[in-house]
Each structure stands twice: as structure tokens, then as C-alpha cells.
């Protein structure tokens, strides 16, 4: 049962698609304190909290602070309270109560889950206005289902988007992109897409292509398409201010950009230099910007990733002016140490400066809102602009779309990637721990940068990370400019990388099938063990193993130099230890703790009792997977125990 409670005057977010009449009684479970703008709940010692989508730390969110305030922060450290997304749905599991709660408010809101007081869960609002949905149900899975039902169906990408995608910030020319494709094909390694980062554009201008470095782009897209490789360009939120640039000029003419209090357009700076931000919250601006994707769709493009849409701001013209004025004051003076640090801070905190988010306004649903009041809706509405436009431009065809910033509701228009992680072993574990919370909040087509974005990856980290990444719907290897090149063909043990990539393709019939079922049934694709074994005290504490779909459990190795790991089995399972598609060991293991060997090149899959796991002969493209050759690894079951879903993979 879903009950809705209204606090204050909430700003609509369009995240909930069902109309639910509000209750008149008091909010259950939490006490509301109007003065403190907060809700609090005393947690019993054993209470656990799950959800909140993309955040740092473990699967059980208890013991830390999470602030929904979409941030472009490339350092995903344990102490960070905000990442790129606000996905304010959680499950609370106490001793004698369990419920789900969705806190629908577009501004800043903090979830203090035993951080300030180890026994108290407080939700602290910047503005005490929110629609709150309280959900009771029979089980955790049931509560999640009810929540997912009210927010509407998750986005479905084309099936080819389940193939492998190679990305790198610094593919400078079509020649370089072609080399990547050639290397994969020459080494017989599967690949379905190559991503274009900001360098494909002409001076970082959205919906343009650099003519010198990517000459005859349309022909190039066609040539790659003929090889069944999709090119996926990035789109940034800021529009370059440049006379003669059509997107800029149309935006000015149509009054589509965000403005300051005095009515002037906000001037910020991001990669293109000075930019204006489209007011994605405004209907006509959203429609206009969405239609721009057609420029690339007409060139044969069928997928995009939306970046910098928190929005990231390197500086605003106004703040930069203030900074220079203050610097004048320091000039020529003998700085005492305090002034020195103030001076250093002044310059060091120019980018993503919090006050800048109070300098501009949106026109939203017929009203004017200062940006910070609706901040967390910005990336959502950029992606919504694209999604709504795709429905007009190609109503029957699925287009690949995922975004960096998000809010619940955006899951109907695209997936997300988890932003700028690092080539750290701890971030491989973070990737594992982020997936179930993304499943809960409807962001099914998601994944992290495999191998890590910043810092130099090592071959073993990349291999271990890939062994987990082959289970995430978005399966993309991405790295930052200036770091060690991370394409699989650059490493020593190419054969093992080929085998692991092949396993991804062998598992696609299962992954796609489970993905589509999760969409249709509002289920979680990734589940912590305790979602299926709520009463099992051991299962409850496992934070590094996940059920993926109905038939299997994964237990990735995420420690350097480990040749295996401890695994907890909540039930008897059949272990498949893969070195490749046709080279694997099979072993039945009893419920309980086991030390399981896993050499660097081995992938562990645990098949559940009474279930079947379909495996196809690998192919180098998703479209070439031969479904007639599928075999089933069963554990005490018949083939009819598994319902394999498939479709043409491209129509809606
Ligand atoms: O300021 O486009 O998260 O994936 O490669 C960095 C360059 C901007 C951040 C994205 C990352 C992308 C990078 N972008």
C-alpha cells in the first residue's frame, strides 16, 4: 500500500506518474519538526537502511550522511556526501517495522542515517516542502515493486547497447576511432559501440562535429554501422556563446536560456568556454533542445550520453569578477596566515561554487524558481528533453541514452553511468555496492566506468573489474585524458580479456531477458542477498555478492593479488568457474561459507537451486548471437524452469 503525505507546498517533479490522493493524518514512522525542517526516527540497534541510488559507501546505508545535492565531484571518497544524483527512495528495516519511503522534493535534502546520532535517522530539508510516499508491503522486493509502479516503467535501450562499449576521453579523430575498431576486430575481441567524448565537437559546441578531425562524419558513421559498430556522442549541458552558432542563436531568439534576477542570461564557463544553460525545466526550451538531437540522428547516430548536467560550472562571469575584486584587496599586502588560507580558498573554490546555483532562475510549470530550489531536476530534464524528442523523431525506435546527473523520474528516459570514479580497487567494490540501489530506484540501464576513469589502471584491476562489469547492463570501459590507455588490446594477457568479453556475449540472452523482466515486473535486476533471505543473519551482512536476475548470484574478486575469496551461500548452489565459454569447472556447494578459488582470469557464477542459466555461443556483435545454440546450465531443474525473453531489440 502506498500512502502519500504532503508537507508544506511541494514543487512538482513529475517523478510519480500515478495520481494518489494525500492522506490527512500524520506521517507514520517519523516525527515531523517544522521548526527544524526535519523528520526523525529512532532506529533500533538492528535496523538497516537500503537505497538512495548512486552514493558512496556500502549497501546498508546506516551510519553515514547522504545529501541529495547533485554535484560534479570527481573524487568519490568515503567522506563524500553528494555525488551526481538524487534518488530519494529508501527502505527501512527495523525490528518490528519495515517500510519504504520516497521523499519527493527537488531541492537539497539530507539523510542523516545515524551519522550525527548513531541511533537516530533524520531527514533534514532546506525547504520543508515535499511529497512523501510511504510504502508498506509483504517483503522488500514487494515494497520496491510498489514504488517502481508509481514512478513508471524504466527506460529500455536497444539490445545492441548490451554489447561492449569502448570509451576514452581523447579520441581525437575519426582515424583514431577507426583504429580502436580495427584493433578489436583484428584481435577477434567483441565490441558493439565506441563512444565519442567532447573531442568530436567543433570547439565543444553541442550538435556540431569537427570537420577537420572528423571529415565526412555521416560517411564515417555509415562505415562503422556497416561493421555493426555504433558511435555514441556525448552532449554537454552548456551551449557555447558564439555569434553565428545556430544553437546559441536559436536559444537567444527563443528565450530558452536560464536568466539571472535582472533578466540577463547567466554566463557560465565550461569546456566550450563561456556558455548559457538551456532552461530544461521550461517546456518550450526542453522541446527545442530535444529536437537538436535530430541533427546527429540524421547523420546515423542512435545513442547519446548526457554530461555536465548537474550542471557543472567551472566559473560564472559574476563570481569570477568578485574573486578578482577580492584579489585586488590582497595584492601588495603582507598576508597573515589566515588571510593566506582565505586567499587560497577564494581561488581554489571557484568551480561548482555553491552560491552560483543561487544566481539564476527557471521558468517551470508557469512559475519562476531560483535554481537551487529545483537544482536536482536539471539533469533529469535535460535527459527528458532528449527522451521526449526521440518519441517524436523516431517513435518506434529505441535510442541509447544515459546521463550523469539524475533524479527519480529520469529513469523513464534513460539510464545513468556513475561518473568519474578512479582506477582503485575500492571503486570496483563501490560499483558492486551501487548497483542494487540503482535497481531499487528504477535506473536499470546503468553501470560505472570499468577499469576506473581517473588514475592509471593496472592489468589485474581491469581484469577483475571487467569480470564484474560483464554483468552490468551498461558495460563500458572508459578512462580520462592523461591516464594510461585502457583499451583491452593494450594489455599483456589479451587472450583472457577476449575470453571474458566473450563471456559477456554468452550471457547476453540471460542478461537481456532478466533486464526486460525487471522492467516489466518492476523488479530489481541486482539484489543484495538479504532481499531474498531476509531472515538469514549471515546473508543480511553480505555486501560484496549480489543476485543478478532470478537464476544466478555473483561474487566478484575485488582485492589485488587475491586468488580467490570467501563466499557466503544462502542456499545450495552450483558454481560455474569460467575461464572461457567452453572451459569451465562445475561444482555443487552447500549452503554456508566457502573459500572459493578464482584465478585472475576466472569468472565465478553461482546458479541457484531449481534454476537454469542460459549460455549462448559468443559472438563479436550482439546481433550475431545465435539463440538456437543456447545451452542451459541447470541446477536440479528442467529447461522449462527458465523463461527466456527476447524480441527484435530495436522497436519500442
Ligand atoms: O570535466 O568530457 O564524467 O566521463 O570523459 C570532465 C570529459 C568532463 C566528465 C565525464 C567524463 C568525461 C569528461 N567529462
Residue 305 Cα: closest atom of ligand 1? 4
CA–CA separation, 82 and 70 (whole Å): 7
Instruction: Provide the β-strand partners of residue 604.
Output: 577
- What are the distances in angstroms from CA 413 to CA 286, 290, 381? 13, 12, 9
* Mean pLDDT for all residues in the chain: 98
Can you read off the three cell numbers belonging to residue 24?
490527512
φ and ψ of 165, to 5 deg: -125, 130
Residue 638 has pLDDT above 80, yes or no: no
Q: Kindly give the distance from the C-alpha atom of residue 558 to the centroid of ligand 1, in angstroms, as a whole number.
A: 25
Can you read off the three cell numbers belonging to residue 408?
527519480
182 close to 191: Cβ distance less than 8 angstroms: no
- What is residue 332's predicted lDDT score, i.e. its pLDDT? 86
Residue 404 Cα: closest atom of ligand 1? 3
Task: Summarize the confidence of residues 631-648 as an average pLDDT.
Answer: 91
| Closest residue by Cα to residue 79 from 483, 347, 426, 350 | 426
Q: Where are the alpha helices (DSSP H) in 470-561?
A: 494-521, 529-532, 537-541
Higher pLDDT among residues 330 and 101, named by residue: 101
Q: Kindly give the distance from the C-alpha atom of residue 379 to the centroid of ligand 1, in angstroms, as a whole number.
A: 15
Q: Kindly give the distance from the C-alpha atom of residue 179 to the centroid of ligand 1, in angstroms, as a whole number.
A: 22
CA–CA separation, 334 and 184 (whole Å): 59
Can you read off the three cell numbers belonging to residue 100?
519504504
Residue 481 Cα: closest atom of ligand 1? 5
- What is residue 13's predicted lDDT score, i.e. its pLDDT? 98
Q: Kindly give the distance from the C-alpha atom of residue 170 to the centroid of ligand 1, in angstroms, as a whole number.
A: 10
Closest residue by Cα to atom 6, ligand 1, is 308
| Tally of CB atoms within 10 A around 535 | 8
Confidence bin at 602 (pLDDT 50/70/90):
very high
CA–CA separation, 426 and 559 (whole Å): 8
In tens, the pLDDT along 383-439 reads 999 999 999 999 999 999 999 999 999 999 999 999 999 999 999 999 999 999 999
The secondary structure of the chain in percent helix, strand, coil, rounded to multiples of 5, reads: 30, 25, 45
CA–CA separation, 151 and 442 (whole Å): 8
Q: Do the strands 89-93 and 48-51 form a parallel or antiparallel pair, or are they unpaired?
A: antiparallel
Residue 236 Cα: closest atom of ligand 1? 2
- What are the distances in angstroms from CA 439 to CA 54, 505, 526, 541, 553? 10, 22, 6, 19, 15
Residue 271 Cα: closest atom of ligand 1? 1
Residue 641 has pLDDT above 90, yes or no: no
Q: Kindly give the distance from the C-alpha atom of residue 100 to the centroid of ligand 1, in angstroms, as a whole number.
A: 34
Q: Kindly give the distance from the C-alpha atom of residue 165 to the centroid of ligand 1, in angstroms, as a whole number.
A: 16
Q: Kindly give the distance from the C-alpha atom of residue 491 to the centroid of ligand 1, in angstroms, as a whole number.
A: 24
Residue 69 has pLDDT above 80, yes or no: yes
Which of 169, 237, 452 is the best mutation target for the ligand 1 pocket, counting ligand atoms within 8 Å of the beta carbon and taking the most?
Answer: 169
Which of 206, 307, 405, 479 is the best mutation target for the ligand 1 pocket, counting ligand atoms within 8 Å of the beta carbon and taking the most?
Answer: 307
CA–CA separation, 188 and 266 (whole Å): 50
Residue 197 Cα: closest atom of ligand 1? 2
Residues whose CB falls within 8 Å of the CB of residue 138, separated by 6 or more in sequence, listed in order: none
Closest residue by Cα to atom 5, ligand 1, is 169
Residues whose CB falls within 8 Å of the CB of residue 19, separated by 6 or more in sequence, listed in order: none
Which residues sit with their C-beta closer than 6 Å to ligand 1?
169, 197-198, 234, 307-308, 404, 419-420, 478
Q: Kindly give the distance from the C-alpha atom of residue 83 to the centroid of ligand 1, in angstroms, as a whole number.
A: 14
Closest residue by Cα to atom 13, ligand 1, is 169
Confidence bin at 333 (pLDDT 50/70/90):
confident
Residue 639 has pLDDT above 70, yes or no: no
In tens, the pLDDT along 564-585 reads 999 999 999 999 999 999 999 9
Residue 550 has pLDDT above 80, yes or no: yes
Q: Where are the alpha helices (DSSP H) in 124-216?
A: 140-151, 174-186
Q: Kindly give the distance from the C-alpha atom of residue 307 to the centroid of ligand 1, in angstroms, as a whole number.
A: 7
Amino acid at each position: 500500500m502506498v500512502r502519500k503525505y504532503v508537507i508544506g507546498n511541494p514543487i512538482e517533479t513529475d517523478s510519480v506518474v500515478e495520481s494518489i490522493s494525500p492522506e490527512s493524518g500524520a506521517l507514520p514512522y517519523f516525527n515531523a519538526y517544522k521548526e527544524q525542517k526535519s523528520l526523525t526516527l529512532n532506529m533500533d540497534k538492528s535496523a538497516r537502511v537500503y537505497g538512495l541510488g548512486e552514493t558512496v559507501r556500502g549497501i546498508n546505508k546506516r551510519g553515514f550522511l547522504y545529501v541529495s545535492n547533485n554535484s560534479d565531484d570527481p573524487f568519490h571518497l568515503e567522506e563524500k556526501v553528494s555525488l551526481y544524483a538524487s534518488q530519494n527512495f529508501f527502505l527501512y528495516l527495523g525490528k518490528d517495522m519495515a517500510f519504504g519511503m520516497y521523499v519527493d522534493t527537488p531541492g537539497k535534502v539530507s539523510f542523516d542515517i545515524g551519522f550525527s546520532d548513531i541511533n537516530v535517522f533524520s531527514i533534514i530539508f532546506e525547504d520543508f516542502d515535499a511529497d512523501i510516499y510511504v510504502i508498506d508491503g509483504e517483503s522488500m522486493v514487494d515494497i520496491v515493486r510498489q514504488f517502481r509502479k508509481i514512478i513508471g516503467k524504466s527506460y529500455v535501450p536497444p539490445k545492441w547497447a548490451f554489447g561492449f562499449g569502448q570509451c576514452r576521453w581523447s579520441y581525437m579523430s575519426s582515424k583514431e576511432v577507426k583504429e580502436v575498431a580495427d584493433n578489436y576486430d583484428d584481435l577477434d575481441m567483441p565490441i558493439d559501440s565506441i563512444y565519442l567524448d567532447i573531442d568530436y565537437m567543433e570547439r565543444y559546441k553541442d550538435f556540431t562535429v569537427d570537420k577537420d578531425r572528423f571529415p565526412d562524419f555521416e560517411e564515417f558513421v555509415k562505415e562503422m554501422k556497416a561493421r555493426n559498430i555504433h558511435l555514441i556522442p556525448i552532449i554537454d549541458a552548456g551551449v557555447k556563446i558564439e555569434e553565428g552558432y545556430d544553437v546559441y542563436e536559436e536559444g537567444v531568439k527563443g528565450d530558452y536560456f536560464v536568466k539571472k534576477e535582472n533578466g540577463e542570461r547567466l554566463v557560465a564557463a565550461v569546456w566550450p568556454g563561456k556558455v548559457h544553460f538551456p532552461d530544461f525545466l521550461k517546456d518550450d526550451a526542453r522541446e527545442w533542445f530535444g529536437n537538436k538531437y535530430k541533427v546527429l540522428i540524421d547523420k546515423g547516430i542512435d545513442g547519446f550520453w548526457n554530461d555536465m548536467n548537474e550542471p557543472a560550472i567551472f566559473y560564472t562571469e559574476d563570481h569570477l569578477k568578485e574573486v578578482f575584486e577580492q584579489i585586488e584587496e590582497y595584492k601588495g599586502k603582507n598576508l597573515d596566515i589566515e588571510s593566506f588560507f582565505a586567499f587560497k580558498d577564494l581561488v581554489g573554490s571557484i568551480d561548482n561554487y555553491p552560491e552560483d546555483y543561487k544566481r539564476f532562475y527557471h521558468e517551470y510549470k508557469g512559475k519562476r524558481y531560483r535554481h537551487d530550489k529545483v537544482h536536482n531536476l536539471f539533469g533529469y530534464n535535460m535527459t527528458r528533453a532528449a527522451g521526449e524528442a526521440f518519441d517524436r523523431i523516431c517513435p518506434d525506435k529505441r535510442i541509447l541514452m544515459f546521463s550523469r546527473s539524475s533524479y527519480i523520474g529520469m529513469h523513464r528516459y534513460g539510464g545513468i553511468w556513475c561518473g568519474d570514479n578512479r582506477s582503485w580497487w575500492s571503486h570496483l567494490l563501490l560499483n558492486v555496492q551501487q548497483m542494487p540501489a540503482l535497481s531499487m530506484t528504477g535506473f536499470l540501464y546503468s553501470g560505472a566506468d570499468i577499469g576506473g576513469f581517473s588514475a592509471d589502471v593496472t592489468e589485474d584491476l581491469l581484469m577483475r573489474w571487467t569480470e564484474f562489469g560483464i554483468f552490468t547492463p551498461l558495460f563500458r570501459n572508459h578512462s580520462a585524458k592523461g591516464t594510461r590507455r585502457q583499451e583491452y588490446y593494450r594489455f599483456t594477457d589479451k587472450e583472457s580479456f577476449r575470453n571474458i568479453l566473450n563471456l559477456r556475449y554468452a550471457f547476453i540472452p540471460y542478461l537481456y531477458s532478466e533486464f526486460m523482466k525487471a522492467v516489466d515486473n518492476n523488479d530489481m535486476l541486482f539484489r543484495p542477498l538479504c532481499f531474498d533471505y531476509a531472515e538469514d543473519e549471515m546473508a543480511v551482512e553480505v555486501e560484496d555478492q549480489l543476485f543478478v536476475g532470478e537464476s544466478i548470484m555473483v561474487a566478484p574478486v575485488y582485492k589485488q593479488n587475491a586468488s580467490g575469496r570467501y563466499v557466503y551461500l544462502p542456499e545450495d548452489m552450483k558454481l560455474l568457474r569460467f575461464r572461457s565459454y567452453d572451459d569451465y569447472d562445475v561444482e555443487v556447494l552447500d549452503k554456508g561459507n566457502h573459500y572459493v578459488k578464482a584465478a585472475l582470469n576466472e569468472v565465478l557464477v553461482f546458479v541457484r537451486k531449481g534454476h537454469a542459466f542460459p549460455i549462448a555461443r559468443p559472438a563479436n556483435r550482439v546481433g550475431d548471437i545465435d539463440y538456437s545454440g543456447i545451452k542451459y546450465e541447470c541446477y536440479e531443474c528442467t529447461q522449462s524452469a527458465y523463461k527466456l525473453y527476447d524480441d527484435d531489440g530495436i522497436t519500442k
